[in-house]
Amino acid sequence: MTERVVLAYSGGLDTSVCIGWIAEATGAEVVAVAVDVGQGGEDLDVIRERALACGAVEAEVVDARDEFAEGYCLPAIRANALYMDRYPLVSALSRPVIVEHLVAAARRHDAGVVAHGCTGKGNDQVRFEAGIASLAPDLTCLAPVRDHAMTRDKAIAFAEEKGLPIATTGKSPYSIDQNVFGRAVETGFLEDIWNGPVEDLYEYTRDPAAPRGADEVVITFDKGAPVALDGRPVTVLQAVVELNERAGAQGIGRIDMVEDRLVGIKSREVYEAPGAMALITAHRELESVTVERELARFKRGVEQRWTELVYDGLWFSPLKRALDGFVNEANEHVCGDIRMTLHGGRAVVTGRRSERSLYDFDLATYDTGDTFDQSMAKGFIEIFGLSGKIAAKRDLTR
């Protein structure tokens, strides 16, 4: 039986060329798998037909938008996941859902190899291969672009020689990866970190400085999940899509940063994530009302570690699974409404309410009706500061 290779297929130049290259170099049959995580662009049926025309023996297309939103974006919202306190893991979140479908396809087609089109300088090679190793340690990985120096010039020459039905002209000056949770842009003139981004680089967001009226939105959460916008029930996917439009129209979610890549280099990245940033901002604010102080303090450390694991491609790791349990438990009471004003590139919280609120007006007020017993404070302070006082006496007598 001829060996089969399952290829993560995007429909672009590199992965289209990979189909023919793998078949020619290894003699294996290629099964192309394209996963829709809300990246937009070409119709999936068009991508499927292109894969077959490029030599794939079979081509599968998967609409994973709801799965991606519910199973991957939602955990990131609950974890307030921002790598280096800024990046909402746009690309990192999409890789494990793609990996799951690649492994499932490999099982269906009795394939022993999974291939991808990543280079050797990025994070995605790790996310794909570490994920595959965790789900299916018996499978091996093939990376033609990385391991066989498949440059763009070589890819174009191969495509022209074989008559592959793909466009090879009009190359974008940027490298772009996008999905429903956001958009990542790099390379080109952005590699000079003194150069500022130009306006035509953006698609998900409008110029935050352009004059326009403000937009007010009320986001309802249940156990950390967005379940309604302005009182209208929504799925997680619908919440992200609508806030991409509304927050994006206000220029919210633009991020320009120099990022520490897993492979050890620093990389200049420009991101657009209007829906993600609006939801994380609202979720974090609702936590401030509903999560107990010590739990909230500990969760901040868990959030950072959770984010680093996902960024580093360890979505399926034992530690990540264990931290998921903590994050879910910490979100048990994150229920209620957050009112936000979207305007001028900012999502500003203006109101909070929750039946699970730990905010007690009678304890917090300084006016008549205050129920806080201030007489307890003196003794509390004396005991709280006692160890420091004892140490200070010792140190002052030395």
Residue pLDDT, tens place only, 151-201: 777 878 888 887 787 754 455 678 889 999 999 998 889 999 999 999 999
Q: Where are the beta strands (DSSP E) in 106-212?
A: 113-115, 140-142, 175-179, 182-186
Q: Looking at the predicted structure, is the pLDDT value of residue 86 above 60?
A: yes
The helix-helix angle for 236-249 and 274-290 (nearest 10°) equals 110
Q: What is the pTM of this model?
A: 0.94
Q: Residue 203 has what DSSP assignment? A: S
What's the mean pLDDT in 67-92? 98
Q: Residue 149 has what DSSP assignment? A: T
Query: Quick one: residue 12, left, alpha or beta (phi over 0 = left, psi -120 to 50 = alpha)?
Result: beta
Q: Which two tokens stand for residue 109?
A: 């087609």
Q: Looking at the predicted structure, is the pLDDT value of residue 298 above 80?
A: yes
CB 106 within 8 Å of CB 89 = no
Residue pLDDT, tens place only, 233-292: 999 999 999 999 999 999 999 999 999 999 999 999 999 999 999 999 999 999 999 999
CA distance linking residue 104 with residue 109, whole number of Å: 9
The larger pLDDT score, comparing residue 228 to residue 11, is at 228
Residue numbers annotated as active site: 14, 95, 124, 175
User: Which secondary-structure segment (H or E) carries 24?
Assistant: helix 13-26
| Exposed / middle / buried, residue 56 (Cβ in 10 Å: 0-12, 13-18, 19+) | buried
For residue 372, list its beta bridge partners. Answer: none
Residue pLDDT, tens place only, 204-215: 999 999 999 999
